[in-house]
Amino acid sequence: MRKIKIISIFLVLVLSSLACSSEFRNSIIDRFPDEVGEVLTNPGQIATLVVNEVAEINNEETGNSIQPHFDDIAFGMDSLESFRFRFVQSLQGTDDAGNSTNITVVNDQEVIKSLQIAHMRMETTTEVKPLQIVEVYRFGNEVYLVGADTECTAFTENLTVMGSEGTDLGLSSIFSNLEIGNLKQQAEMINGVVTNRYQVKNVEMVNSTLSNVNAQIWYSQEGGYIVRFAGEAQGEAYSEAEDLKVSGTIRWEYDLTDINSITEIPLPENCNLAAQGGVNDLPVPDNAQELSTIGSMLSFNSPDDASALADFYRSSMPAAGYILSDETVYDDFYVITYVKAEETITIMISGVNGGGSDAIITVEVK
């Protein structure tokens, strides 16, 4: 029962971090790139160590054309040291209730593989809701979530909620069963890459049923990887961000850029502060057990019941200079929020069957 309580507390933490559905957000985190290479000891450092390697890659002259593997959408991506891509997906039509719906999702991602550095920002725009943003940085073993108010929270990849079998947020996580038609154009320069352009006969999209597909795709002549993929189709699609099923027109456009030319992906200053962690300055009861610090998150359990532990923080946090911002109590579950300067401290306490309590404390820095 203790494990269930801890998981429930952590889910509350995740829910409070970003303004979008939990399934949508967790699917993003679960698929975030997990490249094998050097692990950074300082997650905030700029990735300049790959400058020489990038220069060497750019100076290579293969002179050979690689035939694309049409049945493998991710083919060739593992040969790239660094890259950026933008994937724009729009859905225009009507939902099950007959309401007109227009949803646009913009996914920007940049990666430096040898340093295990990646940055993903996803924006969702609708006609009726405010702009929703999911932003994630990964530096080695550290994962940083940037909230809607630019607050940053640090975690580590070995948290159960971040475990995953998938590692790709690119085209292969969205499209499958690609059927290629005629070659339309050879040696076409796209995004600084010499490509061959093909007509697309058919393709499947995750959470969607497509018909009347009208699309074209551009493959690098030298690398065989996809540089651009643009098209539209009629059909039905489910939006995880909006929890809606929409029938209508689905459009997409993918562009791969800055191939083997990225030398830095700086971590925002507020995430640097979160990485340094303010949890070490927070009061902790003397009888705390199984104390663990992960990035800017502190967890422990206590023989005291949940109400007694909540009382401890109600008295000790103001004494440490923190100001109460909000408190929610449900049975033996407490969420208490304090602020001081640029820090927001969220204390989550849950009672444990048989006595005692569990606590998770997070520090977010604006």
Task: Mark the ranges of the chain whose per-residue pLDDT is less than 70.
Answer: 1-64, 156-169, 275-278, 280
Which pLDDT score, from 0 to 100, does residue 141 have?
75
- Which single residue is written with the structure tokens 């991710």? 74
Which pLDDT score, from 0 to 100, does residue 363 have?
85
How would you classify the pairing of strands 117-125 and 244-257? unpaired
CA-based nearest residue to 303, from 358, 362, 361, 360:
358
234 and 318 housed in the same domain? no
224 and 344 housed in the same domain? no
Which pLDDT score, from 0 to 100, does residue 127 have?
83
Which pLDDT score, from 0 to 100, does residue 4 have?
34
User: How many distinct structural domains can be found in the chain?
Assistant: 2
Which pLDDT score, from 0 to 100, does residue 130 have?
85
Among 225, 257, 289, identify where a domain stops.
Answer: 257
Which pLDDT score, from 0 to 100, does residue 23 have?
41
235 and 105 housed in the same domain? yes
How many whole angstroms separate alpha carbon 241 and alpha carbon 124? 7
205 and 65 housed in the same domain? yes
Q: Domain of 170: which CATH number?
A: 2.50.20
The model's pLDDT over 237-286, given as tens digits with 9 standing for 90+, comes to 988 777 889 999 999 999 999 999 999 999 988 887 776 656 767 899 99
Which pLDDT score, from 0 to 100, does residue 246 have?
93
pTM: 0.66
Which pLDDT score, from 0 to 100, does residue 153 have?
79
Q: Give the gyration radius of the chain's Cα atoms.
A: 24
With b meaning 16 or more CB within 10 Å and e meaning fewer, what string describes 204-223?
ebeebebeebebebbbbbbb
323 and 222 housed in the same domain? no
Q: Domain of 305: which CATH number?
A: 3.30.160
Structural domain for 317, as ranges = 277-365
CA 111-260-226 angle, 5° bins: 80
CA-based nearest residue to 157, from 142, 136, 137, 139:
142
Q: Is residue 83 part of a domain?
A: yes
> In residues, how long is the chain?
366
